[in-house]
Amino acid sequence: MNRKNKIITFLFCLVFAAGLYLYFGFYNRSYETIDNVATDISISSRKLTSTYMLNEKNANSIYRGKVIEVDGIVKEVSFLNNRNTVLLHGNDKYSSVICDMQSDQIEEVKKLKAGQKIRIKGICKGFLKDAILLNCMLINTQINE
Amino acid sequence: MNKIIVLLFILTGFTELEVKSDQIITRQGQTSFFSYTSVENIEAKNNQVLSIIDLSKHKIAVSMLMNAFVFKKSLMHEHFNESYIESDLYPKATFEGKIIDFDPLATGTQIKIIKGDLTIHGITKEVEIKTTIENNNGNYLLTGDFEATVKDFDIKIPPILAPNIAKTISITFRFEYQPYEK
């Protein structure tokens, strides 16, 4: 009987520990940073917006939810609502690629200027008037042409 | 004949000018929602909300990507998109409405009601939203908050998670507009 109790107690502890592990390790997991994730697609900001404007549904099936690397020219850098956002020129003057930068990118983002050619990696979320990329980071900021 | 052509030219020129200054846009509007329960508080923010206001028609349109809401925990984001909002099927939430008694020329702050159709999860509901409009020399800022009932939009929450999610969700918004150059 005593032995049985011990086993039950042990099993109970094990389940409890597993629960704690799951809660803290999995449920409480925050977002991964994008540097550890492999790029699915590389594309220019012009091509990305033009593909979306041509056929949004089709473009979504290619890019939505994917980690993409975008080459483009800086249209604007914005710090609205405490976000660090880089807008890249799109296919025409009404469209752009909105890149919401990861918070660790702030020092690099501050140095960016309109007209600069850069490459950004982020997760594509879709298109409204502009393509939207979240969790973005700069890659090889030293592209000089 | 030539005079008429010139006149037409001027007229069309003017109307184009009007169109130019009549629309304002934000591509980086902010919308947040909050769910407060005794079990847990859930908060999410979308910083890439698109909105256009037609100042002469007093019309406002808003569109946002549901999968661009950022949560504190990635599992919440997953549940929200896959189970509740089903963002693969219904990627956008939209609002189209009219700002009642809006005076675009009045500077300073005015509090107005926006009446219109809110579409979430493929379901459209007529809503009235109170908004504070600040006009700072042609730079418009719209802010406000309202509540939406989860049930109204046919969002199914499994019974086991029901205590974690509030029946009514409070939504706040902050849209800072710029002139929209056509």
Chain B: closest CA distance from residue A66 (Å): 12
Average pLDDT of the residues in B141-148: 97
Q: For chain A, what is the radius of gyration of the CA atoms?
A: 22
Contact B73 A129 (CB under 8 A): no
What is the spatial distance between Cα A124 and Cα A62, in angstroms, rounded to a whole number? 10
Contact A31 B63 (CB under 8 A): no
A3 and A59 together in one domain: no
Q: Which of B64, B68, B181 sits opposite A134 (nearest CB)?
A: B68
| Type of residue found at A84 | N
Is residue B36 a contact partner of residue B166, using CB atoms and an 8 Å limit? yes
Do strands A96-101 and A131-139 pair parallel, antiparallel, or not at all (unpaired)? parallel
What is the spatial distance between Cα B155 and Cα B150, in angstroms, rounded to a whole number? 6
Could you tell me which of B112, B118, B108, B6 has the C-alpha nearest to residue B61?
B118
Q: Is the pLDDT of residue A3 over 90?
A: no
A6 in a structural domain: yes
A58 in a structural domain: yes
Helices (H), A55-105: 56-63
Contact B73 A126 (CB under 8 A): no
Q: Is the pLDDT of residue A145 over 50?
A: no
Q: Is the pLDDT of residue A20 over 80?
A: no
**Structural domain boundaries, residue A24:** 1-30
Task: Name the DSSP class of B157.
Answer: -
A45 and A78 together in one domain: yes
Q: Is the pLDDT of residue A63 over 60?
A: yes
Is residue B48 a contact partner of residue B68, using CB atoms and an 8 Å limit? yes
Chain A: closest CA distance from residue B152 (Å): 25
Q: Is the pLDDT of residue A141 over 60?
A: no
A24 and A44 together in one domain: no
A76 and A58 together in one domain: yes
Say how many domains are in chain A. 2
Q: Is the pLDDT of residue B14 over 70?
A: no
A4 and A24 together in one domain: yes
Q: Could you tell me the two tokens for B95?
A: 């609002």
Q: What is the residue whose two structure tokens read 């934000």?
A: B26
Burial (CB count <10 Å: 0-12, 13-18, 19+), residue B124: middle
A86 and A127 together in one domain: yes
| Type of residue found at B11 | L
A51 in a structural domain: yes
Q: Is the pLDDT of residue B17 over 80?
A: no
A54: Cα separation from own chain's centroid: 24
Q: Which of A28, A83, A128 sits opposite B50 (nearest CB)?
A: A128
A53 and A112 together in one domain: yes
Within 13 Å, how many C-alpha atoms sit on residue B43's CB side? 4
Q: Is the pLDDT of residue B73 over 80?
A: yes
| Type of residue found at A103 | S
Chain A residues with a Cβ under 8 Å from any Cβ in chain B = 26-32, 60, 64-65, 78, 80-81, 83, 85, 87, 93, 96, 98, 100, 125-126, 128-130, 132, 134
CA-nearest residue of chain A to B176?
A80
A101 in a structural domain: yes
Return all residues near B144 (Cβ < 8 A) that are at least 6 apart: B129, B130, B131, B132, B172, B173
A145 in a structural domain: no
- Residue B76's SS3 state is helix
Chain A: closest CA distance from residue B4 (Å): 33
Average pLDDT of the residues in A24-30: 57
A144 in a structural domain: no
What is the spatial distance between Cα A55 and Cα B93, in angstroms, rounded to a whole number? 19
Q: Is the pLDDT of residue B19 over 50?
A: no
Chain A residues within an 8 Å CB radius of B63: 128
Is residue B143 a contact partner of residue B174, using CB atoms and an 8 Å limit? yes
Higher-scoring residue by pLDDT: A56, A3: A56
The CB density around residue A119, as the number of other CB atoms within 10 Å, is 18
pLDDT reported for residue B182: 64
Chain B residues within an 8 Å CB radius of A96: 27
Could you tell me which of B60, B34, B25, B28 has the C-alpha nearest to residue B46?
B28
A79 and A59 together in one domain: yes
A26 and A38 together in one domain: no
Mean pLDDT score of chain B, rounded to an integer? Answer: 91
Chain B: closest CA distance from residue A135 (Å): 10
Chain B: closest CA distance from residue A8 (Å): 27
pLDDT reported for residue B16: 47
Q: Is the pLDDT of residue A144 over 50?
A: no
pLDDT in tens, A93-106: 899 999 999 999 99
pLDDT reported for residue A117: 95
Q: What is the CATH number of the domain that holds A134?
A: 2.40.50.140
The pTM is what? Answer: 0.83
pLDDT reported for residue A13: 84
How far CA B47 is from CA of A17, A121, A126, B27, in Å, comes to 38, 18, 14, 9
Q: Could you tell me the two tokens for B46?
A: 């979308």
| Type of residue found at B38 | S
pLDDT reported for residue A19: 76
A59 and A129 together in one domain: yes
What is the spatial distance between Cα A72 and Cα A131, in angstroms, rounded to a whole number? 13
A90 and A128 together in one domain: yes
Instruction: State the complex-level ipTM.
Output: 0.84
Average pLDDT of the residues in B163-167: 94
Which CATH number applies to B23-179? 2.40.128.110
A76 and A16 together in one domain: no
Query: What is the interface size between A and B, counted as CB pairs within 8 Å?
Result: 65
Q: Where are the domains of chain B?
A: 23-179
